[in-house]
A = this chain, B = another copy of it.
Amino acid sequence: MLNERSLAITQECQDCPIRHRAVCARCESDELERLEEIKYYRKFEAGQTVIWSGDRMDFVGSVVSGIATLTQTMEDGRTQMVGLLLPSDFVGRPGRNTAAYDVVATTDMVMCCFRKTPFEEMMSRTPHIAQRLLEMTLDELDAAREWMLVLGRKTAREKIASLLTIIARRDASLKLNTIDGPLVFDLPLTREAMADYLGLTLETVSRQISALRKDGVISLEGKRHVTVPDFNRLLDEAGDDADGGMFA
């Protein structure tokens, strides 16, 4: 069921693509070596559940490549996405042993895992790790609060525009695509996943995307490939103050 193919993947921390952004970012080379001893890779396929909410969680780790989602579900099936895990993001909570959310890989994904207990021990002896984890957690808290404004106060159209903004920003930061020209990227989520993120139905998501297309804010090629001719126009539709830091 877990479809483990960990064996195939091995990597030196030094060459790791998330070396400078993950929880290990501040580690010195000797600290890295000790991490290297306790780490192992796991691969997940698109659609596969990494952890179920409530399950015993005996590892933590970092997303190396691919995308995962964090979701909460009510008894009657209503679901809300509460986090989007991108490469370098941390999964799991030191000091807690059951998962609070469902974690699902939405694309093929590779994780760099640590068994929880050895990691916790190492964390208590390695301030560089704890410091970095604090920093990352504070960033996530800011992102969650930002998202609370989206969920609580924005219209459906603004919600879609906000999501596109976030995806566009992230994509630009990966591709160093800082030119002011049109932004081009792929949506990493289905309409339904977008709806779960935005607190909408998938029909409303579809309608609002169509509306933004009709109004020339975006253009689509297929269902996933998006072009944004004017990023400031998109920011405007999101209801954010112009250039929220990215092009400052």
Which residue of chain B has its CB nearest to the CB of A72?
B149
A82 contacts B149, C-beta separation under 8 Å: yes
Which residue of chain B has its CB nearest to the CB of A196?
B152
Interface band, chain A: 35 or more
Copies per complex of this chain: 2
A residues adjacent to B (C-beta < 8 A): 70, 72, 74-76, 78-80, 82-83, 93, 95, 100-101, 124, 127, 130-131, 133-135, 137-138, 140-142, 144-149, 151-153, 198-199, 239, 241
Tell me the dominant secondary structure on chain A's binding face: helix
A153 to B198, CA, bound (A): 9
Q: How far is the CB of A29 from chain B (nearest CB, A)?
A: 21
A152 to B138, CA, bound (A): 22
B153 contacts A74, C-beta separation under 8 Å: yes
Known contacts: A75-B241, A142-B100, A241-B75. The answer to whether A80 contacts B149 by CB under 8 A is yes
Contacts of A140 in B (CB 8 A): 141
Contacts of A124 in B (CB 8 A): 127, 131
